[in-house]
Chains A and B, each alone.
Chain A
């Protein structure tokens, strides 16, 4: 049942996830201050473990959450993204 809107939405989400996954940690994110190390350093100043996942008393910023989200996407979704991309490339090649 891959027709119309469903296919478009699938492609859009796949492309966005690809875009998030290919942001390189050292070459790009560090340059704009969005790397995980600097975010951890900023949060570690509160005296807790340098891990934004724990409950902090409400001072976890949006930026640290975004940084964590990006790095999590990169780590977890790498392999499934490879699979999805290959599937869709083959589909597009075969069926135009």
Chain B
């Protein structure tokens, strides 16, 4: 073309809008030959249908009506698979429960997710919601998928409720994690320096009628055992074991798992020991509940961590042993004072029968042995 078209004397005719010959504007498609269409490609099928029905389509994806409902259903199912119980009472508490509920779900839910994705054909854009023949079929599929997802979630919840709520006192665990920053700081200071603390009794949360309903949660009561500090201390201990073995150039990833297991074994063995002692000494209710006993048993990790850090700082063997001895003594005192109220019932608070002198002395001896055995555990665990 030479020059601009306007300068030319023989200008082309002015532009006109092409008049549409038929109402739909189908985007360019591969030419469809009747009888030779393959069913595998959704595009050809959609082209056939669009040209048959003169169905206005916006863009290429054939399964237009489906993705909206199917994607919402798939996302619902997927999110319900990932986060199954925002509304389940037993599952909102413990991470172990969440993990166990996740197990029955993902296979079923992801099976549906794949089905929905294949049906969508990977369409990136939101198509216009046309009410063509596609819509009904995929609504049914989508609904089926939604039902399936719902029943899977419900089955998972039932399974958890049946099997785990008997053993895991969810309410107690939840209460044990209700801590505040100030509680954590004061409790840590208490574990490392318990000598001056005065009232060691736990406060009772009264029911409305004035009877004893339970104990105050840790945020209101410095003497209440929690699970937050023991859990954190356990994880910190594992990490410090890894760090220490790395500093000594003998790190391999199994060290983390092995040290975690060592710590868990100590906690569990001590818990069994306390339960056995409480059974033999005829302590009502097995002393404190299991959750609280694990909490009490986990406080020694604070002392162990202090000893390990002192070892890192290379303060010398004498200073490290001194720090170990001090933290052991602090833990000893702390346990004596705290568990006294567990083993030796206070007649002012509970209506427990009074003990004979022999029983009292036996319980005191048991308490003493318990607190002294911490030396064993702390010593074993401090050797990283």
Contact B261 A4 (CB under 8 A): yes
0/1 string, A61-72, CB within 8 A of B gives 1: 010011001000
**CA of A69 to CA of B279, assembled, Å:** 9
Contact B353 A62 (CB under 8 A): no
| SS of B interface (majority) | helix
Contacts of A3 in B (CB 8 A): 257
Contact B262 A66 (CB under 8 A): no
Contact B280 A62 (CB under 8 A): yes
**CA of A22 to CA of B257, assembled, Å:** 35
**Residue B282 at the A interface, CB < 8 A?**
yes
Contact A58 B359 (CB under 8 A): yes
Contact A5 B258 (CB under 8 A): yes
**Residue A23 at the B interface, CB < 8 A?**
no
Chain A residue nearest in CB terms to B356: A58
0/1 string, A53-81, CB within 8 A of B gives 1: 00001111010011001000000000000
Contact B279 A57 (CB under 8 A): no
Inter-chain contact count A-B, CB under 8 Å?
A: 28
Contact A5 B265 (CB under 8 A): yes
Contact A57 B353 (CB under 8 A): yes
**Residue A6 at the B interface, CB < 8 A?**
yes
Q: Report if A58-B355 is in contact (Cβ < 8 Å); known contacts: A65-B282, A66-B280.
A: yes
**Residue B375 at the A interface, CB < 8 A?**
no
**Residue A19 at the B interface, CB < 8 A?**
no
0/1 string, A1-41, CB within 8 A of B gives 1: 00111100100000000000000000000000000000000
Q: Of the candidates B279, B353, B356, which one forms a contact with A65 in the assembled complex, judged by CB atoms under 8 Å apart?
A: B279
**CA of A58 to CA of B353, assembled, Å:** 8
Contacts of B355 in A (CB 8 A): 58
**CA of A60 to CA of B359, assembled, Å:** 10
**Residue B154 at the A interface, CB < 8 A?**
no
**Residue B281 at the A interface, CB < 8 A?**
yes
Contacts of A58 in B (CB 8 A): 282, 353, 355-356, 359
Contact size range, B: 10 to 19
Q: Report if A5-B261 is in contact (Cβ < 8 Å); known contacts: A58-B355, A58-B359.
A: yes
Chain B residue nearest in CB terms to A56: B282
Interface residues of B in 338-384 (CB under 8 A from A): 353, 355-356, 359, 362
Chain A residue nearest in CB terms to B262: A5
Contact A4 B359 (CB under 8 A): no
**CA of A59 to CA of B354, assembled, Å:** 12
Q: Report if A4-B280 is in contact (Cβ < 8 Å); known contacts: A58-B353, A58-B355, A58-B359.
A: no
Contact B281 A62 (CB under 8 A): yes
**CA of A7 to CA of B362, assembled, Å:** 34
Chain A residue nearest in CB terms to B352: A58
Chain B residue nearest in CB terms to A65: B280
**CA of A3 to CA of B353, assembled, Å:** 46
**CA of A45 to CA of B279, assembled, Å:** 22
**CA of A9 to CA of B270, assembled, Å:** 13
Q: Report if A4-B356 is in contact (Cβ < 8 Å); known contacts: A62-B280, A65-B282, A69-B279.
A: no
**CA of A62 to CA of B282, assembled, Å:** 8
Task: Please give the distance in Å from B215's CB to the nearest CB on chain A.
Answer: 24
Contacts of A4 in B (CB 8 A): 258, 261
Chain B residue nearest in CB terms to A8: B265
Interface residues of B in 242-301 (CB under 8 A from A): 257-258, 261-262, 265, 269, 279-282
**CA of A66 to CA of B356, assembled, Å:** 20
**CA of A47 to CA of B362, assembled, Å:** 25
Contacts of A9 in B (CB 8 A): 265, 269
Contacts of B265 in A (CB 8 A): 5-6, 9
Contact residues of A with B, CB < 8 Å? 3-6, 9, 57-60, 62, 65-66, 69
**Ordered nearest first, which 9 A-B pairs have the shortest CB separation?**
A5-B261, A65-B280, A62-B280, A5-B265, A60-B282, A9-B265, A4-B258, A6-B261, A5-B262
Contact residues of B with A, CB < 8 Å? 257-258, 261-262, 265, 269, 279-282, 353, 355-356, 359, 362
- In the complex, besides A9-B265, A62-B281, 11 extra interface pairs with C-beta distance below 8 angstroms are A5-B265, A6-B261, A6-B265, A9-B269, A57-B353, A58-B282, A58-B359, A59-B356, A62-B362, A69-B279, A69-B280
